Amino acid sequence: MPIASFLPTNADYARFLPELILTVAGVLIMFMEALRPEGRRTNAGLLTILALVLALPAALVAKDGSAFQGMLVIDGMGTFFRTLVIVVGLLVVFSSTDYLRREKQESGEYYALLLFSIVGQCVMVTANELVMIFIGLEISSIASYILAGYLRDDARNNEAALKYFLLGSFATAFLLYGVAWMYGATGSTNLTEIRRALISGTPPPEALIGVAAALIFVGLAFKISAAPFQGWAPDVYQGAPAPVSAFLTVGPKAAAFAVLLRIFLGSLEPIASRWEPAVWVCALATMIVGNFAAIMQSNIKRLLAYSSIAHAGYVLVAVAANSGTGSVAAMFYLAAYAFTNIGAFAVVTHFSRKGERYVSIDDFAGLAQRQPAMAAMLTIFLLSLIGVPLTAGFFGKFYIFKAALDAKLVWLTVLGLLNSAVAAYYYLRILVVMYMREPGESVETLPPAGALLQIAVYGSAAGTLLLGIFPSLVLDFANRAAIR
Amino acid sequence: MTLLDIVLFLPLAGFLLLLILPKESSRMAALVISLAVFVVSLGLLMPYWFQYPSGHTFSSDIQWISYPPIRYHVALDGLSLWLVLLSTLLTPIAALVSWNYIDKRVKEYYAFLLLLEFGVIGVFVAMDLFLFYVFWEVSLVPMYFLIGIWGHERRIYAAVKFFLFTMAGSVLMLGAIIFLYNRTGTFDYGVIQGMIQTGSLVFDTRTEMLLFLAFFGAFAIKVPLFPLHTWLPDAHVEAPTAGSLMLASVMLKMGTYGLLRFCVPLFPEAAHRSAPWIAALAIIGIIYGALVALVQPNMKKLVAYSSVSHLGFVVLGIFTFTQQGLDGAVYQMLNHGISTGALFILVGYLYERRHSLEISAYGGVATPAPNLSIIFLITTLASIGLPTLNNFVGEYLVLQGTASANFGWAVFAALGVIFSACYMLWLYQRTFFGKASESLSHHMPDLTTREWAAIVPLVVLMVWMGSFAQTFLPSISVQNAAILDQTKKLRVERVAIPARQTAEVSRANR
């Protein structure tokens, strides 16, 4: 075969354009940072926004097809998730800038790392190859390990980063081990090939495939913080800087779910009867652990961390449904959750003040009387997390449980719905404190929110309400992108 | 755009307007807007004034979400008409009684009041199951805040309990709604109901019962039916006067309305099969509510438990499956809205004067405040079902329907009527008769003009509904006849099929 056939074509580059833009911007920021004279403000934030804004249309118009010898595949799902992580990136940048200024830590690395992490996630969601998935996961993870410990003088940041790094590496090792077994069993790491091997006349031994699938599932379950692999999540999400937590609960999670959908609903669909029960149990356990642990929390970041675990459980319900509607529901939910959770964390970021002093729920007492607009926005996010109609979260839950009922998962649906009623309790507590208590010292000293942060908050709120009133906007997109 | 759309969205527009308007004008703005809604809603009576159409009026049906096909489908019939009017009548009254009572965060208060009106009207007119659920949940949020922010000492506990009880019930209803959609491909109530009636949608017995229970649970919590009533006394006692008013008069009706609109016509077989159990719970509720009301030292709690008792009558009436029973149940929904609403307002008046809800803090109020006492007396008599006042008509119809369905039930239910006389008259005696203490007389001015304005419409309605039931009953009856028809037809078909089979088998054996 002539060497030219291995070289990437222009079409390949066009499909890879969003990643290219983001990578170039990231590298540029690193250089600019090195050359920046002491004492001058960095404009890396601006460049990051610019790169993301450019990458967004590039991702949206990328033509379907495969790139780089079938290593990447741009399909509806890839486009959906690429768009999602880029939008997530934008909102996170807007909510980070004020935070970094406040902590006097504004420097280019933060933005460069954020961009690299997004690049990793873009690769993950478009990878059609286990090795590519692994590479994408590593790009994304390594950048996010550093982000989690970005304030290096802060003990909690360090703890979060260390925990995230150690357990994350463990998870990646599991995944890699699973990839090796999968290669041994099917002779390929290409997702399409794996599926072909499974439905061929001489399928590989089930034990081998079973071990491979289990190891891959464990690796990904770590990343999406599904029970019983959720132990790291509360500490990390609590310890990391608030905007980074917002990013971690949304971006890497969405990417890991995309991989989960691609591998399990796509390649491993022929052995679905084997993995469905495991996902079933995992989904239920995740919902229960997340919701019941969240009830006891008094720190709002930790509460949102547990709630994030619970929400991963809901998405797993959609995965367990193992159907086209299930994957659409999962995608819609991840989009809805992205807006909602980034918004909620953005309000927390605004509220927590320098050094994140005010992160106890009680500190929010009387917020509605001093800054009614911020309180109203947080109310919208919390109602969306509860799943009250006319917010994105409601339709997310609705589609998930609809998919589950379609797949005859009646008990999982009933238990999931009851779980969401339990969840109402701890979200309501925040509302109670915000609206029904007299303002305390923490609220009295609250400065008005910065302009960029306001963009993040209002942007997320607009997304949350828009998806809650006109869900078709995203749903049609997801429908085109369904894995089956 | 029909008149009904305007009635529905005007409160929402008012809610948004109030958010923009300055704080000082929010009281007046809310009153004006809610009065405007009421005046406009009177136009809904037009088709029902000289004739009694059985179908939908003012219906509008627009696609909202393409997939799954969720439609904005609202319409009015003889059942929802009066409940909508009740809601639009009580909202301006609620705004009036809150005039001086609410002194902090006034703007938000009135905004939530209008949002609540939007939610409850939506519940009564939604003809799409999904839309119904949306409004059901939307109405929950403002009431939660009304209790939680402007309530009494234990308001937070009461508000959270209220929210969680309702939420726990309604998520299962959501599950059932999705299940129905998966079977039929539509959320439209009329279409699903038609499919069930024509037999193109048939559930096996177990599925039907589970679906019925999922709906029934949500409604029974809202009604509230014994033993799911425990949130109600807490919510009532802690809520501000207008909160109690809207909760008792309008929101509890959402539960009974749901039973009548959805539970019975959609799952007639299961409804018939579980009727004895539900009737038993309703009767327990009637008697238990009355007995507990008898021993309450707290006025609001007393009225709250009397609600449990009164609502028992409504549920009992529905599950007799007789024309009189259903008519009585619907009439009793309206009556309870008027008379218990008035009781809550009057208790609120007393509270504003004396700042206590304990009965023992009163006594001899009749001397310093004769007008207040007269109005309270009329309301009390209405509440215990004195002929020519409204509750008599409803209770009589329910009891007549019950007696024709099962005479034993009627006997027990009638006990509730007697008890209601006991607790209400005793309350009246302890509060208004006797000798007024010095401190009480000083703090007990008679009714002000504003207070008169809020209570007089209700008193007029008590007399009107008690003496000229013909104004209201025919349109209700037409709708109830349709509902009964829906349940009966199906039963005949269902019973007929196995009967024929047995006949064939027995012929073969011969």
Contact B65 A425 (CB under 8 A): no
Minimum CA–CA partner of A388 in chain B: B137
Minimum CA–CA partner of B133 in chain A: A389
Whether the CB-CB separation of B214 and B175 falls below 8 Å is answered with yes
Complex ipTM, two decimals?
A: 0.75
Structural domain includes residue B3: no
Whether the CB-CB separation of A249 and A238 falls below 8 Å is answered with no
Beta-carbon count within 10 A of A355 CB: 10
Could you tell me the CA-to-CA distances from B498 to A174, B231, B504 in Å, in that order? 60, 44, 10
How many whole angstroms separate alpha carbon A146 and alpha carbon B320?
69
Structural domain includes residue B264: no
Distance from the A325 Cα atom to the nearest Cα atom in chain B, whole angstroms = 11
* Token pair in block for residue A251: 């971006």
Residues in B touching A420 (Cβ below 8 Å): 171
Instruction: Give φ, ψ of B441 to 5 degrees.
Output: -60, -35
* Burial class of A36 by CB neighbour count within 10 A (0 to 12, 13 to 18, 19+): middle
Question: What DSSP letter does each residue of A158-209 carry, written as one string?
Answer: HHHHHHHHHHHHHHHHHHHHHHHHHHHHHS--BHHHHHHHHHSSSPPPHHHH
How many whole angstroms separate alpha carbon B38 and alpha carbon B33?
9
pLDDT digits (tens, 9 = 90+) for B467-503: 888 888 888 888 888 888 877 755 545 544 444 444 4
Residues in B touching A383 (Cβ below 8 Å): 141
Supply the DSSP symbol for B126.
B
| Best mutation target, A426, A427, A472, to test chain B (most B CBs within 10 A) | A472
Q: Which residues contact B46 (CB under 8 A, 6 or more apart)?
A: none
Beta-carbon count within 10 A of B7 CB: 27
Question: What DSSP letter does each residue of A197-266 carry, written as one string?
Answer: HHHSSSPPPHHHHHHHHHHHHHHHHHHTT-TTS-THHHHHHHHS-HHHHHHHHHHHHHHHHHHHIIIIII
Contact A402 B145 (CB under 8 A): no
Task: Check if B239 contacts A (Cβ < 8 Å).
Answer: no
Each residue's pLDDT, cut to its tens digit, for chain B (510 residues) gives 788 888 888 888 888 888 888 888 888 888 898 889 899 888 888 887 777 777 788 888 888 877 778 888 888 888 888 899 999 999 999 888 888 777 778 888 888 889 999 999 999 999 898 889 989 888 888 888 888 888 888 888 888 888 888 888 888 888 888 888 888 888 888 888 888 878 777 888 888 888 898 999 889 988 888 888 888 888 888 888 888 888 888 888 899 999 988 888 888 888 888 888 999 999 999 999 999 998 988 888 898 899 888 999 899 999 988 888 889 999 999 999 999 999 999 998 888 888 888 888 888 888 888 888 889 999 999 988 888 888 888 888 998 888 888 888 888 888 888 888 889 899 898 888 877 777 777 777 888 888 888 889 999 999 998 888 888 888 888 888 888 887 775 554 554 444 444 444 444 444
Residues in B touching A432 (Cβ below 8 Å): 148, 156, 159-160
Taking alpha carbons only, the member of B173, B169, B69, B85 closest to residue B124 is B85
Structural domain includes residue B435: yes
Minimum CA–CA partner of B157 in chain A: A432
Task: Give the β-pairing of B57-65 and A65-67.
Answer: unpaired
Token pair 């905007």: residue? A243
| Best mutation target, A332, A413, A427, to test chain B (most B CBs within 10 A) | A413
Q: How many CA atoms lie within 13 A of A293 on its CB side?
A: 22
Contact A402 B181 (CB under 8 A): yes
Note down the domain range covering B373: 271-482
Q: Which residues contact A457 (CB under 8 A, 6 or more apart)?
A: A95, A343, A346, A347, A350, A374, A377, A449
Q: Count H helices, E strands: chain A?
A: 21, 2
Phi/psi class of residue A166: alpha, beta or left (left: φ > 0; alpha: ψ in -120 to 50)? alpha
Residues in B touching A429 (Cβ below 8 Å): 160
Token pair 């809800």: residue? B357
Distance from the B315 Cα atom to the nearest Cα atom in chain A, whole angstroms = 26
Task: Check if B145 contacts A (Cβ < 8 Å).
Answer: yes
Question: What DSSP letter does each residue of B445-467 carry, written as one string?
Answer: ----HHHHHHHHHHHHHHHHHHH
Taking alpha carbons only, the member of A266, A249, A444 closest to residue A351 is A444
- Across the interface, of A417, A475, A476, the residue whose CB is closest to B175 is A417
Structural domain includes residue B120: no
Taking alpha carbons only, the member of A180, A206, A211, A316 closest to residue A261 is A316
Check residue A120 and give its pLDDT: 94
Provide the domain count of chain B.
Answer: 1
Task: Check if B167 contacts A (Cβ < 8 Å).
Answer: yes
Contact B167 A424 (CB under 8 A): yes
Residues in B touching A389 (Cβ below 8 Å): 133-134, 137-138
Distance from the A291 Cα atom to the nearest Cα atom in chain B, whole angstroms = 14
Token pair 């000083």: residue? B442
Whether the CB-CB separation of A257 and A153 falls below 8 Å is answered with no
Contact A405 B178 (CB under 8 A): yes
How many whole angstroms separate alpha carbon B307 and alpha carbon B224?
9
Q: Residues, chain B, total?
A: 510
Residues in A touching B179 (Cβ below 8 Å): 405
Whether the CB-CB separation of B107 and B23 falls below 8 Å is answered with yes
Q: What is the pTM of this model?
A: 0.84
Contact B160 A428 (CB under 8 A): yes
| Best mutation target, A332, A405, A412, to test chain B (most B CBs within 10 A) | A405
Residue spans per domain, chain A: 12-481
Task: Check if B16 contacts A (Cβ < 8 Å).
Answer: no
Minimum CA–CA partner of B154 in chain A: A436
Task: Give the β-pairing of B57-65 and B70-76.
Answer: antiparallel
Task: Check if B141 contacts A (Cβ < 8 Å).
Answer: yes
Each residue's pLDDT, cut to its tens digit, for chain A (484 residues) gives 566 667 778 888 888 889 999 999 999 998 888 888 777 777 888 899 999 999 999 888 888 888 888 888 888 888 899 999 999 999 999 988 888 888 887 788 899 999 999 999 999 999 988 999 999 999 999 999 999 888 888 888 888 899 999 988 888 999 999 999 999 888 888 888 888 888 887 878 888 888 999 999 999 999 899 888 888 899 999 988 889 999 999 989 999 999 999 999 888 888 888 888 899 999 999 999 999 999 888 888 999 999 999 999 999 999 998 888 888 899 999 999 999 999 999 998 888 877 777 888 888 888 888 888 888 899 999 999 988 888 898 889 988 998 998 888 888 888 888 888 888 888 888 888 888 788 877 777 778 888 888 899 999 999 999 988 888 888 888 777 765 5
Residues in B touching A425 (Cβ below 8 Å): 160, 164
Distance from the A414 Cα atom to the nearest Cα atom in chain B, whole angstroms = 7
Task: Check if B211 contacts A (Cβ < 8 Å).
Answer: no
- Across the interface, of A388, A425, A472, the residue whose CB is closest to B66 is A472
* Token pair in block for residue B401: 């329907």
Task: Check if B160 contacts A (Cβ < 8 Å).
Answer: yes
Contact B160 A390 (CB under 8 A): no
Beta-carbon count within 10 A of A205 CB: 9
Contact A470 B65 (CB under 8 A): yes
Supply the DSSP symbol for A230.
-
Q: In chain A, how long is the greatest CA-to-CA distance? A: 76
Minimum CA–CA partner of A386 in chain B: B167
Check residue A338 and give its pLDDT: 93
Check residue B509 and give its pLDDT: 45
Whether the CB-CB separation of A115 and A48 falls below 8 Å is answered with yes
Instruction: Give φ, ψ of B108 to 5 degrees.
Output: -60, -40
- Across the interface, of B141, B160, B175, the residue whose CB is closest to A401 is B175
| Best mutation target, B178, B204, B210, to test chain A (most A CBs within 10 A) | B178
Q: How many CA atoms lie within 13 A of A214 on its CB side?
A: 9
- Radius of gyration of chain A, Cα coordinates, nearest whole angstrom: 22
Task: Check if B162 contacts A (Cβ < 8 Å).
Answer: no
Sign of CA dihedral B355, B358, B359, B362: negative
How many whole angstroms separate alpha carbon A387 and alpha carbon A377?
15
Contact A402 B159 (CB under 8 A): no
Task: Check if B243 contacts A (Cβ < 8 Å).
Answer: no
Contact A405 B171 (CB under 8 A): no
How many whole angstroms separate alpha carbon B72 and alpha carbon B135?
11
Structural domain includes residue B454: yes
- The dihedral formed by the CA atoms of A181, A184, A188 and A190, expressed in degrees to the nearest 10: 0
Distance from the B443 Cα atom to the nearest Cα atom in chain A, whole angstroms = 30
How many whole angstroms separate alpha carbon B345 and alpha carbon A113?
62
Token pair 């209570």: residue? B455
Check residue A296 and give its pLDDT: 86
Q: Which of residues 92-121 of B touch A (CB under 8 A)?
A: 105, 108
Whether the CB-CB separation of A390 and A469 falls below 8 Å is answered with yes
How many whole angstroms separate alpha carbon A476 and alpha carbon A76?
11
SS3 B70: strand
